[in-house]
């Protein structure tokens, strides 16, 4: 068994840690919006006292493609960085991790598996700075890319793609708009709830998972309602990273399987799809796994949501997730996403196939068959509870 976390620097002005790092050249992987907001410049300025030359690659798109990673790696090959800095949401951080592997190992983005060892640190180290509070990519080795040719999301990564350093500076998330704050926050909640209830969970993942869930229930609505609420922003930033630690070491679950399938076909943003499927998949797992029912009850009690029997507490937790979704204006059904029902039903074989083959399904406590998955997908379209 193992448990890995990056060296984490957090709190106001924690970006100043960049003054102290040792190296020659930093390759900053980000997106055009982050660059436009001046956040990449902030990073470059903080690296000046360390005498580190910087090159910014700001070409990462949402759901980064294999081609984008190849492009970044080719630029890095000429620049020869000894630091890779992923700056942004999950897309930028994942593109950064992946381009580092391509650069250091001389392979293509898809040519890695969790058991590979490329000794990438002989060439460069990895530092991540999140600008959203959701994916927790700064705290995990996970990478999600999009194979645009096959219209499919691909989960990659190896233990070497766990960042060396994560910097959680609250000023980096202050400009997130409410809908992004909401959807990324639901992604973080999904990581923590799923990570707390998989078969891979350990005493090391339990603490970060519980702490994250409590912080999210207490702060997500505040951060959505008032983006200037610095305390709520800070709490969400810490929660997202703790949730990343929880699922990065304990694996995620069925909401990720279903959500990745939906995102691969209908291009729904990751956090929107996660929040949407979370309560339905929680119901499915709780209906067939006594162990997970008890774990849900533990969460509900810890967060002060309910104090009755396991069944009552589990139900109350799922209801609290639905209430939070409503309170922050997230779509509770696929119908609300304005996805046409005929198109959705026509895509069902593809949705089920993708969900079945999703790496995230590996550690769930109740494994669905194809028929179960189809029924879950159908329930989530109209908002029917999962009672099987």
Binding site for Fe ion (CB under 5 A): 187
DSSP string, 324-382: HHHHTT---STGGGT--HHHHHHTHHHHHHHHHT-GGGGG-SS---HHHHHHHHHHHHH
Q: Please list, in sequence order, all residues whose beta carbon lies within 8 angstroms of the beta carbon of residue 14, skipping any fewer than 6 positions away.
A: 167, 168, 169
Q: Return the H-helix or E-strand segment holding 88.
A: strand 83-88
Please state the closest distance from residue 178 (CB atom) to Fe ion, in A.
Answer: 19
Q: Indicate the residue among 40 and 168 with the shorter CB distance to Fe ion.
A: 168
Among 304, 305, 243, smallest CA distance to 274 is for 243
Q: Indicate the residue among 6 and 244 with the shorter CB distance to Fe ion.
A: 244
Burial of 2 (0-12, 13-18, 19+ CB in 10 A): exposed
Please state the closest distance from residue 256 (CB atom) to Fe ion, in A.
Answer: 6
| C-beta of residue 51 within 8 angstroms of C-beta of residue 107 | no
Residue 168, classed as helix, strand or coil, is: strand
Q: Indicate the residue among 278 and 306 with the shorter CB distance to Fe ion.
A: 278
Please state the closest distance from residue 353 (CB atom) to Fe ion, in A.
Answer: 20
Terminal-to-terminal C-alpha distance of the chain: 33
Please state the closest distance from residue 380 (CB atom) to Fe ion, in A.
Answer: 17
Q: Indicate the residue among 43 and 193 with the shorter CB distance to Fe ion.
A: 193
Please state the closest distance from residue 270 (CB atom) to Fe ion, in A.
Answer: 6
Q: Indicate the residue among 26 and 180 with the shorter CB distance to Fe ion.
A: 180
Among 83, 158, 159, smallest CA distance to 128 is for 83
Q: Indicate the residue among 81 and 89 with the shorter CB distance to Fe ion.
A: 89
Which residue is associated with the tokens 């550690």? 363
Please state the closest distance from residue 184 (CB atom) to Fe ion, in A.
Answer: 9
């Amino acid at each position: 068994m193992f448990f890995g976390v990056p060296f984490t620097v957090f709190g106001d002005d924690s970006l100043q840690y960049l003054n102290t790092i040792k190296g020659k050249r930093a390759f900053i992987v980000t997106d055009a919006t982050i660059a436009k907001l001046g956040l990449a410049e902030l990073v470059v300025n903080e690296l000046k006292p360390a005498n580190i030359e910087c090159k910014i690659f700001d070409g990462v798109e949402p759901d980064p493609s294999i081609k984008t990673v190849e492009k970044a790696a080719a630029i890095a090959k000429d620049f020869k960085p000894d630091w890779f800095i992923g700056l942004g949401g999950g897309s930028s951080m994942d593109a950064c991790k992946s381009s580092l592997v391509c650069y250091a190992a001389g392979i293509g983005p898809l040519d890695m598996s969790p058991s590979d060892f490329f000794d990438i640190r002989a060439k460069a180290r990895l530092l991540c700075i999140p600008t959203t509070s959701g994916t927790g990519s700064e705290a995990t080795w996970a990478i999600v890319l999009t194979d645009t040719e096959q219209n499919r999301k691909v989960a990659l990564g190896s233990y070497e793609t766990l960042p060396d350093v994560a910097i959680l500076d609250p000023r980096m998330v202050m400009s997130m708009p409410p809908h992004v704050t909401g959807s990324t926050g639901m992604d973080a909640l999904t990581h923590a709830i799923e990570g707390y209830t998989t078969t891979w969970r350990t005493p090391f993942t339990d603490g970060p998972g519980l702490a994250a869930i409590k912080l999210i229930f207490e702060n997500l609505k505040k951060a959505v309602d008032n983006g200037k609420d610095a305390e709520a922003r800070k709490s969400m930033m810490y929660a997202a990273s703790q949730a990343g630690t929880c699922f990065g070491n304990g694996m995620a679950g069925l909401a990720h399987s279903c959500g990745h399938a939906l995102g691969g076909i209908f291009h729904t943003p990751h956090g929107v799809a996660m929040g949407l499927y979370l309560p339905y998949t929680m119901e499915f797992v709780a209906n067939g796994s006594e162990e997970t029912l008890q774990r849900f009850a533990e969460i509900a009690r810890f967060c002060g949501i309910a104090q009755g029997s396991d069944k009552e507490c589990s139900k109350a937790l799922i209801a609290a997730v639905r209430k939070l979704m409503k309170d922050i204006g997230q779509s509770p059904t696929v119908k609300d996403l304005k996805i046409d029902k005929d198109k959705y039903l026509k895509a069902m074989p593809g949705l089920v196939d993708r969900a079945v083959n999703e790496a995230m399904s590996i550690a769930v406590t109740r494994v669905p068959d194809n028929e179960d998955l189809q029924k879950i997908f159908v329930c989530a379209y109209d908002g029917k509870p999962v009672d099987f």
